[in-house]
Every structure is written in C-alpha cells, then in structure tokens.
Amino acid sequence: MFEDRRDAGQQLAEQLIEYKDHPIVLALPRGGVTVGFEIAKMLHEPLDVIVARKLGAPHNPEFGIGAIAEDDNIVLDEPTVAVLGITEEQIQSIKESELEEMKRRIDLYRNGKPLPKLTNRTVILVDDGLATGVTASAAIEAIKKRKPKQLIFAVPVCAYETAETIRTKVDDFVCIQCPYDLQAIGLYYRNFQQVTDEEVIELLKQSKQTSLKGKPVKGNIIQS
C-alpha cells in the first residue's frame, strides 16, 4: 500500500531513471499531477498536463462509455454503447458537456496554451491509477497523433486486464502493482483524498521552478 500519491510517485520515479534523457512528463489531472510531480522532479524536467475526460452514460454518469482527450480525440466502448442503445445525439451532448470542463481545466492549468511540442520526444504519461483505462486510452491516442519518439505510460496501480491492454498501445508500460481484482484504486493508498485545482496549479508552478534550478524545490511540497 502506498502512503499517498507522493510516495507512489517516488517509487515510480525509481523505475524511470533510464528515461532521464530530457523526456516530457505529462500528467492526467488531477490525481496524476501529484504522482507526476515526483517523477518530473527526479528527472529535473518540468511537469505539464494533458486533459482527458470520461464520458458517462446518459442516465448514469459514473458509468463510463468512453472518454475524450485534447484535440477532440475520442475513444468509445462500442459494444457497451450498442447494448445500452445510446444514440449519436446523446453521445454528442455528453461530449459537449465534457469539452466545456476540458477547456476550463486547460485554461486553469496551462493558461489556455496548447500542449508542448511532442514530435520526436520521449513522453512519459502519468496517472495515479487505472481501472478501465478508457480515459488513459484517449490521452494516449491524442499523444500518438503528435508522433513522439516513444511513449511511456507510468502508473502506480492498474487493473491486470487493463494493464495488458494499455501495454499494447505504448512503447513501455511501467506499473508497480497490477492486481487481478482491483476493486478500487483508493484501496491501494492510505491517503487518497481528492486533489484540488489549487494543488494542481501549485505543483505545476513548483515543478517549473525545480526544473529551472536543476535541484529539488526548497520548502514543503503539497501532499494530496
């Protein structure tokens, strides 16, 4: 069990040392940012975010039927969509709602700026845990369209079947725990409290300062 996301990030960082040749570290907000902060700090590289959102079923938003990432990259669970009889109009309505939240987060976390240039770069994509992996898949597709040199997905805990799927979509998949019966990501953390927008903004700011100095930031690091 990880103490918190910071502890998980530190453990992951130890397994990513081979990728220290100036990679780009991208985290999925919000929880992935705390994990990614520790990885970026170890590599002396700035942390940035890529925003992706789950698409929930029309009458049960918590039940994911797909996901959307930046640049309108969408991944749908086609069999589930068919079984539930979800129409194209319903999907479009759900998508538009999530696009609004994506824009809000991009404006808040990146000041509305586009993703950094990823072409021919090593990209390390980070999250705090994967259950179905549909949101991660949308982010992966968005990154791959920008033709990185290699794409590494790093996550502390991931459902076994999901890990097998994600592994086929990236150049390297780094995970500490891949349980057959995940149940809930939070069960693998002693502290899994929600990360706030304010914490994300502060960690991104501190990461930029760290990479510029080439050494750890002084003072306390926000734990979440």
Tens-binned pLDDT, residue by residue, of the chain (224 aa): 899 999 999 999 999 999 988 899 999 999 999 999 999 999 999 899 999 999 999 988 888 899 999 988 899 989 989 999 999 999 999 999 999 999 999 999 999 999 999 999 999 999 999 999 999 999 999 999 999 999 999 999 999 999 999 999 999 999 999 999 999 999 999 999 999 999 999 999 999 887 666 554 444 444 43
Residues 64 and 139 in one domain: no
- Assess whether 126 and 207 both reside in one domain: yes
Q: Which residue has the tokens 């453990």?
A: 11
Which range of residues forms the domain containing residue 130? Answer: 5-52+115-213
User: Any idea what the CATH number is for the domain that residue 149 is in?
Assistant: 3.40.50.2020
Q: At 158, is the secondary structure helix, strand, or coil?
A: strand
Its pTM stands at 0.90
Edge-first strand order for the sheet with 24-27 is 47-49, 24-27, 122-126, 150-157, 172-177
Q: How far is CA 174 from CA 40, 96, 156, 158, 171, in A?
A: 15, 33, 8, 10, 10
Asked if residue 182 is part of any domain, the answer here is yes
Long-range pairs for 88-94 at CB < 8 Å and ≥24 separation?
90/58, 91/55, 91/65, 91/66, 93/58, 94/55, 94/56, 94/58
Q: How many domains does the chain have?
A: 2
Q: Is 9 helix (H, G, I), strand (E, B) or coil?
A: helix
